[in-house]
Structure 1
Amino acid sequence: MAPPAEGSVDALLPDLPSGPLQAYRARASFSWKELLLFLEGEDMLRFKQNIFSALEKDPLFARSRGADMSVEKYQELNFLRCKRVFEYDFLSLEETLRAPLKVRALICCLGAYDWSLASKYFLHSLNFSSAIYNSGTQRHFKYIQKAFTMEIFGCYALTEVSHGSNAKAIRTTAHYDPASQEFVIHSPDFEASKFWVGNMGKTATHAVVFAQLYVPGAPCQGLHSFIVQIRDPKTLLPMPGVMVGDIGKKLGLNGLDNGFAMFHQVRIPRQNLLNRTGDVTPEGAYVTAYKDTRQRFRTSLGSLSSGRVTIIGMSVVNLKLAVCIAVRFSATRRQFGPTDKEEIPVLEYQMQQWRLLPYLAAAYALDHFSKSLYLDMVELQQGLLQNDQSIRQAELRREIHALSSAGKALASWTVQHGIQECREACGGHGYLAMNRLGDLRDNNDPNCTYEGDNNVLLQQTSGYLLDALERRVQDGARFESPLKTVDFLEASPVILAQRFPASSVKDCFDSSVALAAYKWLVCYLLHESYQKLKEEKNSGSSNFEARNNSQVYRCRSLALAFLELTVVQRFHDYTHQPGVPPPLQAVLQRLSALYALWSLSPHVALLYRGGYFSGEQAGKMVENAILDLCSQLRDDAVALVDVIALPDFVLDSPIGRADGELYKNLWGSVLQNSEVLERASWWPEFTKKPVIGSLKPKL
């Protein structure tokens, strides 16, 4: 048979190797190639293939087995790899600014290989550069050019030792000196030192530093960002007045140098103030086009929302990798069976399906949400660059802030729980470091904290919804938003009067049933949270105390339910659109229904308490529908994994390879470990027998 023509779809998506997984692939109800092309498109697939092909052929990216590297060696290798990525120029500076989905794809590809590499690249080329692009003006863009040629290396310095989530309380100061036309950046004490800053530990030469701005004869103008040089690019030695270093070994991501910095009266030019939201004249007068200081503050921290949106995508990549490993393992691992002579794949067991397949559905649903929210974020940033101060732009910023805050929480938590379930579902083999599930778990863990603690972020989302309800009550304002995520609340009285409509398990196979339940749930929780706040205030609690006492069981649940509804709604709309090819409709709609019901199931007690469910049948129908959908997706599971799987070189897990040769790959990888058959270097100690009782303590 002639090889596929170069550039053809068959060349782009070659057949997967035959082997033990072939039986499941043959039973799939759809073509994995057709689904992958529908989800990604040829252009994006070629872009990703170009990245993976380059990395696999490059010796610098060769996977290694054996002794763990020291942190210093790992950081050196990670920097060299980051530098090589720039040399490949997968995305030009122009494309980085104008091709957002390719930017997202590049970060995800690098992260699938190693999140230390992706984080280093992202923090320099996007976080640092985007902060300058979005918060600065033309006079600052020279730094972006230098960043992309690696003449300088950047970081984003917001968090301090004593303040992270409460950005308003950041204590680093920037006092303007009109005589020299300079800002004086200063850390009043060690608690105000910048901390946890990625790239700052060893490599960053420049930082976007957030500080409280002061001009002569006026009160503090609030938090602003400045470009500050912290090291000499020629020597990597600290600049005068800057104490900078690495914070030490972490639980994961140790190829990334997280650092700290203190500033002692460090002078920078006036022009280094990133001045899109506010500026200082040479004489020392503060000027801004924003009359509302809160809006100015929120706009200046807009990059945090983009960071949270990126973290959602990062988390989804980790879930894809973990589910791929666990499902392929489960399809080839045979244990027990109907007779003593016949063992069956553990994927055939209902328990294994129930443990894994909802996370497979979650990978699809959250991935679609991540992509769509990323494009929403791009729209917001374009308005910012055009100096759009319309009401719609302000509302869009608030809505995306709410979605990205709860989205990061939902995605990172779902993935953290999912990776752990995948690890346990692979038994003892999943505990071997070579199979990568431990690394995925450790490297995903900081996503629950970076760019804001998840539980704190959920308060931002519930606050957004409660403010909307307050405006409705006080001013009669309609529930509506640019992305239409809250528009359904306009029908709250009608929705709250509804009851669970399903009369059979089969009815639940349509994700619209779970959607209706979610809308009722959000309306119910919004009403409950609002009533709790009123009760607290009526009892004499301050606004702060009232909100603090309304989080557990109410506002927190409200924020999560609202975000789950948004994910379910977007995936439902996507899988039910007319453009879905007919052969793919059934499997995509099963994924949609499974994710919706599985996400809804932890809220069953609330659905009963509020009266939406009644009688035991409603709860049983949801449970049985989840199990039936898992069973329906069992034969498609391997093909669904093939769609989201990455090349074996990137996946880097012997038990998750595409050929399904579970035991052969595992055994071969064990024997490849250095010194696996060698006698222990400390063997002479074994031959020295202890003198029993010689060290017995004397009473």
Structure 2
Amino acid sequence: MESQSRSTSHNQTVDDDSRLITTATTRRIQRLTLHLNPNPPPPEEELLQRLSCGSRAKLEVDKTALSIYMKGKYSEIQDRVFEFFNSRPDLQTPVGIPKDEHRELCWKQLLGLVREAGVRPFLCVADDPGKYFAIVEAAGSVDMSLGVKLGVQYSLWGGSVLNLGTKKHKDKYYDGIDNLDYPGCFAMTELHHGSNVQGLQTVATFDPLTDEFIIDTPNDGAIKWWIGNAAVHGKFATVFAKLMLPTLDAKGVSDMGVHAFIVPIRDMKTHQTLPGIEIHDCGHKVGLNGVDNGALRFRSVRIPRDNLLNRFGDVSRDGKYTSSLPTISKRFAATLGELVGGRVGLAYSSVGVLKIAVTIATRYSLLRQQFGPPKQPEVSILDYQSQQHKLMPMLASTYAFYFATKHLVEQYSEMKKTHDEQLVADVHALSAGLKSYVTSYTAKSLSVCREACGGHGYAAVNRFGSLRNDHDIFQTFEGDNTVLLQQVAADLLKRYKEKFQGGTFAVTWNYLRESMNTYLSQPNPVTVRWEGEDHLRDPKFQLDAFRYRTSRLLQSVVVRLRKHSKTLGGFGAWNRCLNHLLTLAESHIETVILAKFIEGVQNCPDPSSRAALKLVCDLYALNRIWNDIGTYRNVDYVAPNKAKAIHKLTEYLSFQVRNIAGELVDAFDLPDHVTRAPIAMKSEAYSQYTHYVGF
């Protein structure tokens, strides 16, 4: 008995010790888990309840506060543009207007905006670029042809005089450009050369006997092509040509590289084409038929030596060339660098187009009812998960792009003030990437919006067709999107190399400089399994995931390029890795977009608006991660259970954004006379539609 008692007592002690050890171990694990993940995941039942689309909890959004925050400090000038055209029905673009009539109307719209409404975009090009881009976006919302024609006059033709010329050019041309007495063109693109500007074939040969340049088109491939304002209205052109100086050697001339020249193309009084200049109409286009694109050929056209835009290179009376920059490549880079504003404007304006499209599609999807439970009222088509999947991530992307392009405009404005070299490099890469990424996304989204609105989306009056056709060329304007993404990739590789040589990183690449080793380290085996909502909606997790992907892509493409260069050479290796490089560039741009969106959320002063923006930002981030979930799974950054949780949460967030979709599009503050689509009217949409067709 005593032995049995001792045995029982001993076993009891062991059991007690085991329980103590187990309890202590459990507490340690819990503390470690809380340390690693301060926001523990909710119980599975709670998560499933949150994910149920039967839940109707929705945020209360102060639309006025959100709209004020989104429109920023340039809302007054945009409202001024909108109200002017609302007060002038004669200047509003009818559906299906013929090409020639559209061109004349577009010119009248521009004249009215400048001379009647007193909106002077040219005053803002240099002094307040943010205001200028806001004017362009508003004008493009009225008619995209008007926005583009305004850009040709003030950003391209006017901008070339401001940015590439010197005081003598500004004194002579500024007022005429500003008040539209001097309508002009930007003659860079040729029949055989677009993106490869260094390959342009038009020549400008200096004649020391007459102190003139002679502009020539040496062959048909050198004909200037797609030149806006050339076919009908332009009186001047900034012509990009190779500057040729006579020499005493066997060659006879010396090529100083591509320069810009002011060339009059029509008589100021009679508007007749000047001698030696041949102008043809490029004809009917897929879209933007309010812009008169033309082709120009020059046959020994003589211009004064002073017509050389000589900021980066000049020719003296005796034919000597001088420049503050030592090489052709540096002069070329400086010249194109001053023209980066066009890319900034296209990225910014493309967001404006996306705002209109997503507003029309969302409002119609809230209005349109179809099917439903048996013997119950039909439901809004935006209540269907498939419609939410089409439109809600797009609405989130619209907000994301707004904050990213707003940041780009701020950086560009600062660059114009300071001319800081590091900022110049940053703006060049960021403008190329955002222009490419945003315009490509918008182009695809316009088709999705049309489809989401069914047959009514196919009606011209509801605008998707014209928006899609007019915007499509944004993917080619100011640099083909694929070429621009390669510039981003090349710049990123350059910065990567500089990192290991002790160089400095431009602002855009700071996250790689600061945390490259962190992002390339082996994923934490604990965190790859976290699936709690608080963790997945943590901005740090989202941004880390984006940065990790970019860092891996960068490191792997460096290895591949080094390997292929040994057998294929530099060009061949680049081409072999081209798709990899494009993916790298897109990943980096997505990372920048998310970072700026997170900043935009954090800086929002109104609590209800901040909560709404946080919801939208989470949808943007998690939807992007889910769309590329294969990449994260392949490198074990996300475990299967976590991938499944991301997918479920993305669907739930789409549903939650759907609940405030009306408020979110209303916050864009686009009046009905700007959206113009009957199916998007805030009230009596169907009656507006039936009235339009004659009932």
User: Paired residue for 1:682?
Assistant: none
1: distance between equivalents of 2:417 and 2:144? 28
Q: Is the 8 A contact 2:195 2:480 kept in 1?
A: yes
Matches within 5 A, 1:47-446: 47-62=77-92, 64=94, 68-87=96-115, 88-91=117-120, 93-141=122-170, 142-217=172-247, 219-384=254-419, 393-446=420-473
2: distance between equivalents of 1:637 and 1:653? 18
Q: Is 1:550 the counterpart of 2:577 in the alignment?
A: yes
Matches within 5 A, 1:605-684: 605-613=630-638, 615-659=639-683, 661-671=684-694
Q: What CA deviation, in whole Å up to 9, does each residue of 1:172-202 have, x standing for no partner?
A: 0111111111111111011101111111121
The structural deviation recorded for 1:237 is 1.5
Q: Is the 8 A contact 2:155 2:342 kept in 1?
A: no
Report the residue type matching 2:540 in the other structure. Answer: S
Q: Is the 8 A contact 1:511 1:589 kept in 2?
A: no
1:164/1:96 Cα in 2 relative to 1: closer, same or farther (>3 Å)? closer
Q: Is 1:29 the counterpart of 2:60 in the alignment?
A: yes
1:294/1:96 Cα in 2 relative to 1: closer, same or farther (>3 Å)? closer
2: distance between equivalents of 1:45 and 1:404? 23
The answer for unaligned runs of 5 or more in structure 1 is 1-25, 385-392, 673-699
Q: Is the 8 A contact 1:60 1:81 kept in 2?
A: no
What secondary structure sits across from 1:650 in the alignment?
helix
Report the residue type matching 1:571 in the other structure. Answer: F
2: distance between equivalents of 1:123 and 1:96? 12
User: Paired residue for 1:684?
Assistant: none
What secondary structure sits across from 1:337 in the alignment?
coil
Report the residue type matching 2:197 in the other structure. Answer: A
User: Paired residue for 1:456?
Assistant: 483
Q: Is the 8 A contact 1:134 1:381 kept in 2?
A: no
User: Paired residue for 1:517?
Assistant: 545
Q: Is 1:39 the counterpart of 2:67 in the alignment?
A: no
The structural deviation recorded for 1:93 is 4.5
1:70/1:185 Cα in 2 relative to 1: closer, same or farther (>3 Å)? same
1:282/1:601 Cα in 2 relative to 1: closer, same or farther (>3 Å)? farther
What do you get for the CA RMSD once the two structures are aligned? 1.9
**What percentage of residue pairs aligned between the two structures are identical?**
32
Q: Is the 8 A contact 2:70 2:667 kept in 1?
A: no
Report the residue type matching 2:484 in the other structure. Answer: L
Equivalent residue pairs, number: 629
The structural deviation recorded for 1:598 is 2.0
User: Paired residue for 2:512?
Assistant: 488
2: distance between equivalents of 1:64 and 1:171? 40
User: Paired residue for 1:570?
Assistant: 596
2: distance between equivalents of 1:354 and 1:523? 29
The structural deviation recorded for 1:489 is 3.7
The structural deviation recorded for 1:394 is 3.1
2: distance between equivalents of 1:618 and 1:562? 23
Q: Is the 8 A contact 1:213 1:220 kept in 2?
A: yes
The structural deviation recorded for 1:28 is 5.6
Higher alpha-carbon deviation: 411-420 or 302-311: 302-311
Larger Rg: 2
Q: What CA deviation, in whole Å up to 9, does each residue of 1:558-594 have, x standing for no partner?
A: 00000010011111112113x5222222111111111
User: Paired residue for 2:9?
Assistant: none
The structural deviation recorded for 1:169 is 0.3
What secondary structure sits across from 1:221 in the alignment?
strand
Report the residue type matching 1:572 in the other structure. Answer: I
What secondary structure sits across from 1:219 in the alignment?
strand
The structural deviation recorded for 1:271 is 0.7
User: Which 4+ stretches in 1 moved above 6 angstroms?
Assistant: none
2: distance between equivalents of 1:651 and 1:462? 37
2: distance between equivalents of 1:289 and 1:202? 38
User: Paired residue for 1:693?
Assistant: none
Report the residue type matching 1:183 in the other structure. Answer: F
2: distance between equivalents of 1:462 and 1:439? 33
Q: Is the 8 A contact 2:192 2:222 kept in 1?
A: yes
Q: Is the 8 A contact 1:410 1:563 kept in 2?
A: yes
The structural deviation recorded for 1:498 is 5.0
Q: Is the 8 A contact 2:133 2:345 kept in 1?
A: yes
Q: Is the 8 A contact 2:369 2:380 kept in 1?
A: yes
The structural deviation recorded for 1:524 is 0.3
The structural deviation recorded for 1:356 is 0.3
Q: Given the two structures, how large is their TM-score scaled by the length of structure 1?
A: 0.87
Q: What CA deviation, in whole Å up to 9, does each residue of 1:346-377 have, x standing for no partner?
A: 11122111110111111111111112101211
Q: Is 1:526 the counterpart of 2:557 in the alignment?
A: no
What secondary structure sits across from 2:628 in the alignment?
helix
User: Paired residue for 1:584?
Assistant: 609
1: distance between equivalents of 2:668 and 2:141? 12
Q: Is the 8 A contact 1:506 1:625 kept in 2?
A: no
Q: What CA deviation, in whole Å up to 9, does each residue of 1:224-281 have, x standing for no partner?
A: 1111111112222211111112111110000101111011111111111111111111
